[in-house]
Structure 1
Amino acid sequence: MSALTTLHTLLDELGVPADAQLVELAVTHRSWAYENGNGPHNERLEFLGDAVLEIVITEHLYVAYPDLPEGQLAKMRAAVVNAHSCADVARSLDLGTMLKLGQGEINTRGAEKVSILADTMEAVIGAIHLSAGGAEASSRFVRHLFLPLVEQAAALGPGLDWKTSLQEALAAAGRPAPLYVIEATGPDHLRHFTATVMVGDQPLATGEGSSKRHAETAAAEAGYRALHD
């Protein structure tokens, strides 16, 4: 099944109209535009789609979790509305195979990059929002794809935000705030990061990942679990 079929099959199932030209623009990366006459690309649609995604998820959280304080709602939203979640949803729709990329991005496997996939996902949301179905259709699309992530976030407990959970646990124990020391290895396009979380002058735990954020999160989780063993 082609990526175009994957996306449009879902849109048909949801009864969500999508303007073909806007969808084409949504998958056009600036690298392709610059190599092809400096035409339009998807960054403006991404800007719109980011706002649509945030308001739909925020409204859902407000209504669905009436007893949660603002801080907890914000953590849940951050667990859902972020580049990695958007990229995962983009992968589920095979958007990477639809992307129009410049040769430089093709050479560095741009269709697999979290940032490009996430931006494209947001641009597709923006395209749907501007199509005939408007806000109702874009909300239906977002809810279908992202509400399962909200349910997962609701069940995470301290894992909703490992760094904050570790900082709060250390503060409750009267210990210093954590600091993260990062080491990176590998070529620029395939970096691997190791984070060591320090408490005072003592290492508490380490974590690894394909980004600084992932490594720090892994280290924070290991540190939190170490404190509670």
Structure 2
Amino acid sequence: MKRLQRRLGYEFGRPESLQLALSHRSVGADNNERLEFLGDSILNFLIGEALFEKFETAREGQLSRLRAQLVKGDTLAEIAREFELGECLKLGEGELKSGGQRRDSILADAVEAIIGAIYLEAGLDTCRERVLHWYRERLASLTLDTPAKDAKTRLQEYLQSRREPLPEYRVAEVEGEAHAQVFTVECHVSLLPTPERARASSRRVAEKKSAAQVLKRLGVA
């Protein structure tokens, strides 16, 4: 739990609040569903606010599309894996046996519950600071032209359409301490003689960046 709080960048004054946020409904009545409901609302507001400030000329439809990308379950599950959240979840026996700690929906719900717990304990300003830090690279890489599908998905579909092997991602280097690591990832594809490299504070974001660079070299992006 201490390692998780370091990764989150927030230490709970009441550890039981974090325990509740990590408790799936399969453990019983004391679970994270109410915190998840609250965190979902706060996340939508904070990301909407950040997009409103970042894109001053964007239309409502553009902002809605970008927000949907950032708050969807897949993105939240990625963030959960960056925190290595799965190993800290409290699950009932059935969920444990079925691999619930790896399920995207459970991971995403836990992130929302943690946001709700931070808000209740520390208020909106602290919650905003943490959420924007977690989303820093994702927000920085967004443009109004950012497609609905991420670069990894588009690269995979492009290669499949040409019956080429799927891309291979390799971690070339990891720098920094556990709570502040920087990953260098290579993306290898059969259509290019050399891989593309990218760096980010999470492996998955680095993979997306390297995939975007490959698409650019292939003339797709």
C-alpha distance after superposition, 1:35-64 (max 9, x if no partner): xxxx31000000000011110110011111
Q: 1:20-169, aligned counterparts within 5 Å?
A: 20-33=15-28, 39-131=29-121, 133-154=122-143, 157=145, 160-162=147-149
Alpha-carbon separation, structure 1, partners of 2:50 and 2:118: 19
Relative to structure 1, the CA distance from residue 120 to residue 18 in structure 2 (aligned partners, 3 Å threshold; closer, same or farther) is farther
TM-score, normalised to structure 1, is 0.62
Alpha-carbon separation, structure 2, partners of 1:145 and 1:62: 18
Alpha-carbon separation, structure 2, partners of 1:205 and 1:48: 45
Q: Note if contact 1:84-1:114 (Cα within 8 Å) is conserved in structure 2.
A: yes
Q: How large is the Cα RMSD of the aligned pairs?
A: 2.7
Relative to structure 1, the CA distance from residue 205 to residue 19 in structure 2 (aligned partners, 3 Å threshold; closer, same or farther) is farther
Task: Give the drift of 1:71.
Answer: 1.2
Alpha-carbon separation, structure 1, partners of 2:14 and 2:141: 32
Describe the SS at the equivalent of 2:135.
helix
Question: 1:151 is matched by which residue type in structure 2?
Answer: A
C-alpha distance after superposition, 1:138-188 (max 9, x if no partner): 11110110132222332x835x225xxxxxxxxxxxxxxxxxxxxxxxxxx
Q: 1:172-211, aligned counterparts within 5 Å?
A: none
- Runs of 4+ in structure 1 deviating by more than 4 angstroms, as ranges, are none
Q: Calculate percent identity across the aligned residue pairs.
A: 36
TM-score, normalised to structure 2, is 0.64
Match of 2:198 in 1: none
5+ unaligned residues in a row in structure 1: which ranges? 34-38, 163-194, 196-203, 207-227
Question: 1:6 is matched by which residue type in structure 2?
Answer: R
Question: 1:22 is matched by which residue type in structure 2?
Answer: S
Task: Give the drift of 1:125.
Answer: 0.6
Match of 1:169 in 2: none
